[in-house]
Amino acid sequence: MASSRRDLAVRASVDQGLLSPAEPVVALLDTAGIRASAAALTGAFAAVTDAPVLHAFAVKACPLVPVLRLLHEAGLGAEVASPGELALARAAGIPTARTVLDSPAKTPDELRQALALGIAVNADNLQELARLDALVAAAPTASPLGIRVNPQIGAGSIGALSTATATSKFGVALRDEGARKTLVQACLERPWLTRLHTHTGSQGVPLALMAEGVGEAYALAEEINHAAGRQQIDTLDIGGGLPVDFHSDEENPTYAEYARLLADTVPGLFDGRYGLVTEFGRSLLAKHGTVLARVEYTKTSGGRPIAVTHAGVQVATRTVYAPEAWPLRVLAYDSGGRPRTGEVTVQDVAGPACFAGDLLATGRELPLLHPGDVVAVPDTGAYYFAHPYAYNSLPRPGVHGFTVTEKDGGGGAGDGGAGDGDRDGGNGGDGTVTFTTVREPQTLAEIVAESGGAHADALVR
């Protein structure tokens, strides 16, 4: 998200009452930034290949229907990994022909539905291939079918997100004894198996390792096609995984850098013989989301100032439980939504949950925060506010898309369309910020309902 648009949106959220004592935490999405990232992705691959490329957004990164619709309008499809994610993609209007199903635990019913709809399916293992044998024999399907491979090339800096390790739970392990030969034979026995899928990892995985994983899948495709005496494997799904810089507003690395690296290291991938599928998620959305929260109280403990806010583990679960792997920036604004100035002070920024570790930041240098101030947590557009954690039954925050239109009509952020419920408001002559509702804030009645409120007497009858 451009910092200037973010500053305008923070102030407008206060001016327009989006962030208030009654709604002390909200999430914002910069629609212009999302469109720009989608264009950067499609443009980066178009610059290195004329082959068809389906860019399937990883729905898990931001499972919000208006976001999926926005990305669909920007030319992207969807990668889904559960019945719920498939339902969201269909609700967003994404065609089944532009949808890919991945999951290490697909049920027979999930597979049957995907084949009936013509959705591309990547099998995770040889047992799943056996299930597909029966389903393909039972009914014709238009679904492109593939299998995921694990190149076993090593881990990045975050082990939990490294999917190409020796013992990863994903895909067929290529370097296990006899596995490669077995996989090649399995493909030759199934002429309908026309795709290979690999995904080396995501945050913490360097570009060179990602490219190495793609190279291993390409080499296997070449081996299978040579053994078949024809081009049986016609598409390579290279996954996603571009890491995000959480330390600045820079979008680094870029899709263009990654596409050029692939063109240099795996040139045959782009010579027109193979169709391509990508599955980027975090890198498309992270930079374009910001969580805003009011500071409720400030205090001092052990000589260190602490600002108690309304954003913590319920929106930033990974950061709270694994702060070294998932650090987030915190930006300080005054009660009017203007960047706070003043002497920088080392302080903690805490969340509202009832455990000591609910901290957004520890020992962070910021202008001293005061009650009623606003903290902004940028880079949270993926895997943060769309994945609420119900600690203390804290409600899910509302999510709002925004656009900025300059006063003279130029340099704006584009059209809205992220949802219903537009709010227009001036912004001190710098531009007009328009908010649209993506997801309503959760109500207390909804919390009670999903916590068994309709069955209060179930255990005492």
DSSP assignments along 21-81, one per residue: SSS-EEEEEEHHHHHHHHHHHHHHHHTT--S-EEEEEEGGG---HHHHHHHHHTT-EEEE-
Q: How confident is the model at residue 408 (pLDDT cuts 50, 70, 90)?
A: low
The whole-number pLDDT of residue 151 equals 82
pLDDT at site 226: 97
Q: Which residue has the higher pLDDT, 419 or 356?
A: 356
| pLDDT score of 82 more than 80 | yes
Q: Which of 25-39, 153-167, 235-249 has the highest mean pLDDT?
A: 25-39
Spatial distance between the Cα atoms of 376 and 457, rounded to a whole number of angstroms: 42
Query: What is the structure's pLDDT at 205?
Result: 76
User: Is residue 412 scored above 60 in pLDDT?
Assistant: no
Which residue carries 């999951």 as its tokens? 103
What pLDDT is attached to residue 203? 64
- Residues in Cβ contact with 189 at an 8 Å cutoff, skipping those fewer than 6 apart: none
pLDDT the model gives residue 420:
52
**Is 161 a residue whose pLDDT tops 50?**
no
Single-letter residue type at 61: A
Inter-CA distances, 193 with 148, 285, 334, Å: 11, 32, 58
Copy the structure tokens of residue 69: 């619709």
Q: Say if CB 395 and CB 439 are below 8 A apart.
A: no
Examine the pLDDT at 167 and tell me if it is beyond 80: no
pLDDT per residue as tens digits for the range 135-152: 999 999 999 999 999 886
The answer to whether residue 450 scores a pLDDT higher than 60 is yes
> Percent of the chain scored above 90 by pLDDT?
82
pLDDT at position 413 over 60: no
Averaged over 168-177, what is the pLDDT? 78
pTM of the entire structure?
Answer: 0.92
Cα angle: 230, vertex 231, 234; to 5 degrees: 165
**pLDDT at res. 234:** 98
Q: Is the pLDDT of residue 177 over 90?
A: no
Closest CA to 100 of 123, 121, 118, 83: 121
Nearest partner of 111 among 96, 124, 101, judged by Cα:
101
Structure confidence at residue 388 (pLDDT): 83
Banded pLDDT at 200 (limits 50, 70, 90) = confident
* Mean predicted lDDT score pLDDT of the chain: 91
> Which residue reads 């006063």 in tokens?
407
> Angle formed by the axes of helices 179-188 and 126-138, to 10°?
10
Task: Read off the pLDDT of residues 318-376 as tens digits, 9 standing for 90 and up.
Answer: 999 999 888 999 999 999 999 999 999 999 999 999 999 999 999 999 999 999 999 99
Could you give the C-alpha distances from 136 to 167, 192, 217, 350, in angstroms and in order? 30, 9, 24, 54
Tens-place pLDDT, residues 268-323: 999 999 999 999 999 999 999 999 999 999 999 999 999 999 999 999 999 999 99
* 305/201: higher pLDDT: 305
In 174-255, beta strands by DSSP E: 193-197, 235-237
Higher pLDDT, residue 423 or 105: 105
User: Per-residue confidence at 168, pLDDT binned at 50, 70, 90?
Assistant: low
Least Cα distance to 340 among 385, 376, 314, 315 occurs for: 376
Q: Which of 31-40, 49-58, 406-415 has the lowest mean pLDDT?
A: 406-415
